[in-house]
Structure 1
Amino acid sequence: MEKRKYSKRMKRKNYILTIAGFDPSSGAGLTSDIKTFEAHGLYGVSVCTAVTVQNDVDFKECTWIDRETIINQIRILFERFDISVVKIGIIQSWEVLLEVVQVLKSCNPTIKIVLDPILKSSTGFDFHSKENLKVFEKVLLHCDFITPNYDEIKALFPKKTIEETVEFITERTNIYLKGGHREEKRGWDEIYHSKIVQLNIPPITGSVFEKHGSGCVLSSALASNIANQLPLEDACKNAKYYTEQFLNSNDSLLGEHSYK
């Protein structure tokens, strides 16, 4: 039988990368991102940064993958796949994150990076309580979007007000500020880009149920829309709509993925 010939690089599919942790419940992290990518018509590849012991209501422990293994996972994927967009979730430290984004840019100088700066899990586990924010400032320069919620943006630069933090970050990258943790106007998201041009996105589909991993879903949906080359405003609105579909998919803590 004649052997099939395979090219060194695969170009037929539209590939997208997630760099994140593994959640056994599949509500958050790598497997949740892959489901989101698939729902947007994309083929997701993944790099594991941590193995967690958790379910949808309880977080026991986190075992970090070492820096060299993360970098090697990234490099071998780029040897074979053309990847234009990456979503990044939990990574052990800002120092490792900085090296990761630098490696991504070396593999593809035009790659789009969507960073979900996860500081605490939905079950209360702290990932980055005391970090060198000078390093994080350098990370921002490599990103195209960061997607914090209100608790995270307040915690990133605790000596600054939210307004000061927004101004500081938008000098370096775009912000999709998730509104699920807002005390007022709960569920209203805000987009800041091009030196604080603000776009308000109100809740779209009505009442929603809480879901484990909803922040991961939104950031991976935004990355998917960017990979599908939607304009910035449409990419953000579609990510919001997809996430609310996910939240409304059932009344449990584990949502279902589909694009209607």
Structure 2
Amino acid sequence: MLKSEKQKNVVLSIAGSDPSGGAGIQADLKTFQSLGVHGLTAITCVTSQVPGKVLDIEPVSANSLRSQLDILFSEYQVSAIKTGLLYSSELIEVVLSSLDNNKIEVPLIVDPVMSSTSGTQLLNSTALTLYMKNLIPRSTLHTPNLPEAATLLGIEIESIESPIDCANLLYEKFSTPVLLKGGHFKSANATDFLVDESGAEQFSKTFSNRMPAHGTGCTYSASICACLGSGLNLHDSILKSKEYITRSIDQSVELVSGQFTLSHEINGSNLSI
């Protein structure tokens, strides 16, 4: 039986807008819809981008972001939150204060977006400090890729030999569960590494040849958010989301030459929560 809108779990993405529809809040909303939850968004930035290219980033004002969050928290019972592109320390502070002021105590997924796939920097050093000191430690899960993990640890990528050791270092540093995404590691499989209070666990799928794909990190974290917001535990949320992102990549389409855009119309099985 289909859930009515009032019966649906409500989740929130705090992230940037991507006019190409492949990443950011657009990808998050598509993921939420596909997984059967109602998605809310609070926009942090308006970007001018397409797969493989970012021309401009225009952050919203602190007042605008605060107003978006306050009205959403006042009217909706949000069951989980994810953050994506937060851009500046000012906007990160707004997110933190809004969570505190509205007494929000729900799963928080932090996707530490620092640069685009094409290499454009999306987070300055001041914002990074606040990210590490205040945002990641309060998260339910943070989901860095290899370059982001190296930045968070203050080390060079080339010095990372073991992904599981890297994930353990992140857990020790922030004392909160981490899912280190394995897409940048040279391997036959795309293996992600979860470290939490229970220890370490791997989630693995065969690498897809439909790469580079735009919006994979956004979609993956949005799926985990949707699953946690629907009552699944962390392990099951990641397991289901690994299947979702794998199918999204496998069924992606090449709308821009040499760049794949994820599909959210997943064929082959019912992945709704």
Query: Common fold, TM-score beyond 0.5?
Result: yes
Listed one character per residue, the Cα deviations across residues 131-183 of structure 1 (whole Å, up to 9, x for unaligned) are: 36542222122211111101110112224876467435454211111111113
2:167/2:193 contact within 8 Å kept: no
166 and 61 in structure 1: CA distance in 2 versus 1, 3 angstrom threshold: farther
2:203/2:239 contact within 8 Å kept: yes
Bigger helix share: 2
Could you tell me which of 178, 181, 185 is aligned with 1:182?
185
Q: Which runs of 5+ in 1 are unaligned?
A: 1-9
Matches of 1:113 and 1:57, distance apart in 2:
28
1:140/1:169 contact within 8 Å kept: no
Listed one character per residue, the Cα deviations across residues 100-138 of structure 1 (whole Å, up to 9, x for unaligned) are: 133124324322110100111112110124236542222
Matches of 1:129 and 1:75, distance apart in 2:
26
2:8/2:36 contact within 8 Å kept: no
Q: Which residue of 1 aligns with 2:219?
A: 217
Please say if 1:70 is aligned against 2:77: no
- Corresponding residue SS for 1:92: coil
The alignment's TM-score, normalised by the length of structure 2, stands at 0.83
1:112/1:144 contact within 8 Å kept: yes
The alignment's TM-score, normalised by the length of structure 1, stands at 0.87
Between the aligned residues of both structures, percent identity stands at: 26
- Corresponding residue SS for 1:123: coil
Q: Which runs of 5+ in 2 are unaligned?
A: 255-259
User: What letter matches 1:104 in structure 2?
Assistant: L
- Aligned-pair RMSD on alpha carbons? 2.2
- Corresponding residue SS for 1:202: strand
1:145/1:175 contact within 8 Å kept: yes
Matches of 1:152 and 1:129, distance apart in 2:
13
Please say if 1:248 is aligned against 2:250: yes
Equivalent positions of 1:121-200 (< 5 A) are 121-131=116-126, 133-135=128-130, 136-159=132-155, 163=165, 166-170=168-172, 171-184=174-187, 186-194=189-197, 197-200=199-202
Matches of 1:91 and 1:218, distance apart in 2:
17
Equivalent positions of 1:93-132 (< 5 A) are 93-131=88-126
141 and 14 in structure 1: CA distance in 2 versus 1, 3 angstrom threshold: same
What is the aligned length?
249
